[in-house]
Structure 1
């Protein structure tokens, strides 16, 4: 049995026996075309590595959970899944669901419940038997995914740029974002090139003037531009812009831990961003909750942002206040996908692998 969890940043594949024993595993790049991924290529890479030398004829089925495989992107996702599946000589075709459904299955054996997720994308959904009953957000980085790692990164870059060009006061992110995006070597090069020009600017701004209270011209003093710190270097902002737009949108997610670290250090701007992220995710849960038939059904937290850190802590606390039991931590989504495939063939679901 094969299970694939294909997200916006990484694709994971497992091959399991009917008893749940691991027979092979593989990884590939992100598969969500909305975040710059090559769906068919990512699926093929992970699937090929997981199968290894195994006989394809022994595979009786599989399920692929693919980011962007909602109704709008389903035809393309199904086509990509079939291309990868048949390209490796497997019989039939896999079931195709969203990565949201396999995230829920990776956290519980229950058939119904809520999953709130935040990784490359973000949102919440009510799941029933592997299908999404109702969802909130998960609309992609351009028009949604508030509270995701990519959203955190975008907010952090915006805060850093606003401080660099004078629209806002400096924040820890003013230093940590350029360092994370550009690296120490590039920052040193930009700084070394900027300082000589700053010194010349100070010299030109200075003027010889009479000292206060000395109208006859005794002691003179140099009047320089206010402040000792170098003026903002526009090339740093442009270097950040070049880096951000030169990579797929999903790459902004690497700044999520940078925001978390700044918030933990007490930075007010980072703490505001973290608070807004948690608020958005809890709002998603509140939006889908009325569609939950069983109020005691489990709630699963999934994704890198909700694994640990300040956003995870805030969301966990909010969910505990809203529901009768604390939320479940999601396990391996690829195993969740294989579990869905097994249950559709009449086998019992697999226990989550955390």
Structure 2
């Protein structure tokens, strides 16, 4: 029985699925985040460790004949693509020609649309607008990472919330943390003093910071006005990504996906309201790792 391994690596976790030729899931699991930003020996070592962890788990259920992997931050036809392919080939003992490696958005796009059919807007730890033409040319907006932008993402929402609470604390000590948003963040951070905040923020990675967006959503559910403004602004920022691509390729159906887009209804509602012109919006979740696994099971 031919088995295909699909890998969907994001900023928060790496999800994998093992599927048979019929497209049925045989096994699944998750590992630590895996990034295509392999700009140092330490980053390469971390990537090898994550891949080795997945290989050990997959081996309990079978050996894949092919692998399709979508890796956040990775660009095709770059040294990183070759490096990740070699890592996968070594770990799984699969020939390189049976391994397809691309950025995670490539796989996500094909989970929703045929080539050239629609526009994908993703909000997870980061954010990006993505269009894959019929000849497989990638048009992307955003997706430049949190040091430059990533507006509308979980990281961005968390940062805006932290900034707001801390600035209010500076102006009126005790009032920032007393708000519903402040209380939700304090619970997630494990405290309100600066040492607790900086330990959480600077002692982790962007994925860990992005999880604080859930606290913002929690406060928003309680009606906190500041949280709702941040979440609404996130919806506007994500709509900007879609509108930028609509301007370039014309009106297309848009898939709004990722955990950041589902934090609170106001995000998707604002997104729809700000699209110009109005187009069909798809918000249902599709398992990108499973899509990749089904493709991998049919690798020629």
Scaled to the shorter chain, the TM-score interval is 0.7 to 0.9
Structure 1 gaps of 5+ residues are 188-235, 346-354
336, 341, 353: which one pairs with 2:291?
A: 336
Distance in 2 (CA, whole Å) between partners of 1:290 and 1:313 is 20
Does residue 302 in structure 1 map to residue 285 in structure 2?
A: no
Does residue 49 in structure 1 map to residue 4 in structure 2?
A: no
CA RMSD of aligned residues (A): 2.9
Q: Secondary structure at the match of 2:16?
A: strand
Q: Secondary structure at the match of 2:120?
A: strand
Q: Where does residue 276 of structure 1 map in the other structure?
A: 233
Q: Secondary structure at the match of 1:147?
A: coil
105, 109, 112: which one pairs with 1:100?
A: 105
Q: How does 1:185-334 map to 2 (within 5 A)?
A: 236-292=193-249, 295=251, 297-315=252-270, 317-318=272-273, 322-334=277-289
14, 22, 25: which one pairs with 2:25?
A: 22
1:122–1:147 contact (8 Å) kept in structure 2: yes
Distance in 1 (CA, whole Å) between partners of 2:278 and 2:295 is 25
Q: Aligned pair in 2 of structure 1 residues 109, 126: CA closer, same or farther (>3 Å)?
A: closer
1:113–1:292 contact (8 Å) kept in structure 2: no
Q: Aligned pair in 2 of structure 1 residues 180, 330: CA closer, same or farther (>3 Å)?
A: same
Q: Secondary structure at the match of 1:104?
A: helix
Does residue 116 in structure 1 map to residue 121 in structure 2?
A: yes
CA-CA distance at 1:263 after TM superposition: 1.9
- The structure having more radius of gyration, on CA atoms, is 1
Does residue 137 in structure 1 map to residue 142 in structure 2?
A: yes
CA-CA distance at 1:311 after TM superposition: 4.7
Q: Where does residue 82 of structure 2 map in the other structure?
A: 78
Q: Secondary structure at the match of 2:145?
A: coil
Distance in 2 (CA, whole Å) between partners of 1:250 and 1:29 is 10
1:31–1:40 contact (8 Å) kept in structure 2: no
169-178 or 240-249: which moved more? 169-178
CA-CA distance at 1:67 after TM superposition: 0.1
146, 158, 173: which one pairs with 2:181?
A: 173
1:9–1:250 contact (8 Å) kept in structure 2: yes
Normalising by the residue count of structure 1, what TM-score does the alignment of the two structures yield? 0.72
Normalising by the residue count of structure 2, what TM-score does the alignment of the two structures yield? 0.84
Q: Secondary structure at the match of 1:63?
A: strand
Does residue 164 in structure 1 map to residue 119 in structure 2?
A: no
1:164–1:174 contact (8 Å) kept in structure 2: no
